[in-house]
A = this chain, B = another copy of it.
Amino acid sequence: MIKNDLFLRALKGETVDRPPVWMMRQAGRYLPEFMEIKAKYDFFTRCQTPELASEITVQPIRRYGMDAAILFSDILVIPQAMNIAVEMRPDVGPWLPNPIRSQKDLDRVVVPDIHQSLGYVMEAIKMTKEKLNDEIPLIGFAGSPWTILCYCVQGQGSKNFDKAKQFCFTQPVAAHELLQKITDTTIAYLKEKVNAGVDAVQVFDSWGGMLSPVDYGEFSWQYIQQIIDALKDHAPVIAFGKGCWFALDTMAKSGASALGIDWTCSAKNARKLTGGKITLQGNFDPTRLFSPPKEIKKQVKQMIDAFGKDRYIVNLGHGILPNIPVENAAAFIEAVQQYKAT
């Protein structure tokens, strides 16, 4: 039994005294104790070494006491396991030296054995669960198939993922084959994560908002729906699509336990577009954490009042930025912990 089950209760839609809070990307980046580890070990060493990944996962919990932990990892461990090389280059970010641009490129992409290729993630989960000692739940995550395709085809981050979209629009058969391979891998991966001990899973569709509603349905949503269908009886699923306000009505009917909302969609719009019944998670603008702590606290209070304390998980609208002062992140968490409705 988890001692602080606020997060799990909010996912079930139960009435709570205050909403739970965690922050996307809370493990890493802005924390001095993380920077010490980063100085010693490169990115994928941190992901692949269970001692490091579990330590990084619990660092923010020790400092701030969030209501859920999220395993330190990366969405790009999936293409790595599928035989697509992924490097993390300083000042560039993700770098895939052999991007997928043709049916021929696709032939070398495999649906891997999860135990063999991603066993280190399961070890990290088990080690993290021990460290958390049933105090709070642990979240596992994966990228959406579309978002993973974006990196696999583009070969790096991008403002518009033009090469990824060009691939989909000129070679749709190959695109769907790649998306299905990613989906099959992701389903097996998330199921194993649940078996290893995570209490909920989140699917990140960071680049779904680059697509038109019609193209979103074809190239992104149908694969997320497959993941939800396969996982929902094993663990609660949170679906987060950045910029995907136009699909919130469909997402609300998907069987997901909660939907992530970004900061361009107001609480009022989010409740309206989702029909008012599903748990929502979000949506503080990550750059608003640059505001003075007093202003942050005021805005967090307003945000909770706008979403309502029930069926709501306080979070950012996207990942925390690397250069946010630790006292500003503290103000964000404290505002929720001290929340009282007026």
Contacts and interface: CB of A to CB of B under 8 A. Distances in A.
A79 interface: no
A285 to B, nearest CB: 5
Interface stretch (A11-19, A41-49, A101-109, A208-216): A208-216
Interface stretch (A31-39, A121-129, A137-145, A263-271): A263-271
Nearest to A299: B214
A243 to B, nearest CB: 7
Given A170-B291, A243-B243, 15 more contacts: A159-B159, A160-B321, A162-B323, A165-B285, A165-B290, A166-B287, A169-B287, A169-B295, A211-B264, A213-B266, A243-B264, A245-B246, A245-B264, A246-B265, A246-B266
Contact of A245 (B160, B245, B263): B245
Interface size on A, as a range, is 20 to 34
Given A246-B265, A246-B269, A215 B285 contact: yes
Nearest to A157: B159
A264 B170 contact: no
A248 to B, nearest CB: 12
Contact of A288 (B169, B246, B269, B290): B169
A275 interface: no
Contacts of A266: 212-213, 246
Contacts of A169: 287-288, 290-291, 295
